[in-house]
Chain A
Amino acid sequence: MARRPRWRFGINRWWVLLFIVLGVVAAAAWPPIRPHVQLPAEVISAAPLITLPVIGPIYLTNTLVALLLADVILLGLALAVRRSTARGQMVLGGISAALEALLEALFNLTESTAGKRAKRIFPWVATIVLLVLVVNWMELIPGVDSIGLLHPAEGAAEGHPVQLLGVLGSLPVATIVQGALQESGATLGLLQADHGFTVVPFVRVASTDLNFPLALALISVVMTQVYGVQALGAGYFGKFFNARTLFNKPMFGAIDFGVGLLELVSEFSKVLSFSFRLFGNIFAGSVLLFVMGSLVPVFVPSMFMMLEFFVGMIQAVVFGMLTLIFMSQATAGHAEGAH
């Protein structure tokens, strides 16, 4: 028994060496290109999915694809847990056990912060943590952000010549390569682009589109208000328009009223800080991975992948934990806090 893990490690060592050698060969054959970085999500459907009356047409973007994929992964995890509990296992194994440990840690955290309201707050916290975790870790999957459609570039600085790699069925498979463009631009079969081509990936991490963090932040902050009103009734708004001490102690009452208005402002700035925190961290992380991958294509990116693994996990936990703390603060109220 003691010998087997050592043998496996020996094999894994050769795998790692093989991949490093393959990486060196591939980087020599196709020198890496620093990809074109774009802040808004790229549209990958020609026609709009639906057209809403006020907002206008909504296209299928690559971050939307990533979010749908994350949903599918979460549903798969849920079904895996359901299958193993339906089998009547008392001790779960494999992926279900990992999920059980994660959710148990989250529930203990919720219970220690929110007390008796933990059961109502927990679903929001767990949903946010699981979704953000899966979405953030998608940037570690090879092919995300790098496999996609070739589009003609708009500016001269962004385009690259292309090289045909092969034909899959009837679809040509090509890659952009380093090098100067010819006078007439780049050509691929019948396609001709004046400024060369860029890659529009099929899947781009959903957190790098501000819409996803903003939607989660709005859900989190709005539900915090709903829970606050449910727990404290109309008295919840006394936190924002604090006129209790305004008449018997005018001087300090005015200060209390001002502080209440600041609380109101801070509710709105929560949306801003929630969404920018997640977006900024993950977008900067993916740009870091692009730049590192183009500067030192072999082995070094894996170190930064490790960093992004931790950043993605910490951001998911921070998003969930801040939701938890804001919700438990909103439901606790003044009366309980004073005693």
Chain B
Amino acid sequence: MEGDIVAAATVLGKMIGAGLAMVGVIGGGVGIGVVAGGAVQAMARNPDASGTIQTNMILGIAFAEATAIYALVIALMILFVF
């Protein structure tokens, strides 16, 4: 009986913890939106510079995404490792 409660509480804690860890993805989403929006505006104003802008946009997205991926990795570790 007590073992069951402990097991259930462990699962509960894991699920809530993983969900809370994924809150960090908000920042990555906002960052990628800002980067892509700025890049599209820049490309609309100066279509000739599309190539350079696109390269820098993907770079910026990769950096913004990295923080979101850290949160994701922590959530995955909580779910599947501990």
- Chain A residues within CB distance 8 Å of chain B: 37-39, 109, 112-113, 273, 276-277, 279-281, 283-284, 287, 314, 317-318, 321-322, 325
Is B73 an interface residue when CB atoms closer than 8 A count as contact? yes
> Contacts of B65 on A, CB cut-off 8 Å?
277
Q: What string of 1s and 0s marks CB contacts (under 8 Å) between B39-82 and chain A?
A: 00000000000011001001100110110011011001101110
CB distance A38 to B66 under 8 Å? no
CB distance A37 to B73 under 8 Å? no
CB distance B73 to A279 under 8 Å? yes
CB distance A277 to B66 under 8 Å? yes
Beyond A39-B77, A39-B81, whether A280 also contacts B55 by CB under 8 A is no
> Contacts of A273 on B, CB cut-off 8 Å?
63, 66
CB distance A322 to B59 under 8 Å? yes
Beyond A39-B80, A277-B65, whether A317 also contacts B73 by CB under 8 A is no
> Contacts of B58 on A, CB cut-off 8 Å?
314, 317-318, 321
Q: Name 20 interchain pairs, CB-CB below 8 A, sorted by A.
A: A37-B79, A39-B77, A39-B80, A39-B81, A112-B51, A113-B55, A276-B66, A276-B69, A276-B73, A277-B62, A277-B65, A280-B69, A280-B76, A281-B69, A287-B76, A314-B58, A318-B62, A321-B55, A321-B59, A322-B62
- Chain B residues within CB distance 8 Å of chain A: 51-52, 55, 58-59, 62-63, 65-66, 69-70, 72-73, 76-77, 79-81
CB distance A284 to B66 under 8 Å? no
> Contacts of A112 on B, CB cut-off 8 Å?
51-52
CB distance from A118 to the nearest CB of B (A): 14
CB distance from B53 to the nearest CB of A (A): 13
> Contacts of B81 on A, CB cut-off 8 Å?
39
Q: Which B-chain residue is minimally distant from A315 (CB atoms)?
A: B62
CB distance from A115 to the nearest CB of B (A): 14
Report the Cα distance A3→B36, complex, angstroms.
Answer: 42
CB distance from B34 to the nearest CB of A (A): 18
Q: Which A-chain residue is minimally distant from B77 (CB atoms)?
A: A39
Beyond A113-B55, A321-B55, whether A283 also contacts B76 by CB under 8 A is yes
CB distance A284 to B59 under 8 Å? no
Q: Which A-chain residue is minimally distant from B56 (CB atoms)?
A: A325
CB distance A277 to B55 under 8 Å? no
Q: Which A-chain residue is minimally distant from B66 (CB atoms)?
A: A273
> Contacts of B79 on A, CB cut-off 8 Å?
37
CB distance from A243 to the nearest CB of B (A): 29
Most buried by A among B66, B70, B79: B66
Q: Which A-chain residue is minimally distant from B70 (CB atoms)?
A: A276
Report the Cα distance A39→B52, complex, angstroms.
Answer: 38
CB distance from A53 to the nearest CB of B (A): 28
Q: Which A-chain residue is minimally distant from B7 (CB atoms)?
A: A157
CB distance from B24 to the nearest CB of A (A): 12
Most buried by A among B51, B63, B80: B80
Q: Which A-chain residue is minimally distant from B71 (CB atoms)?
A: A280
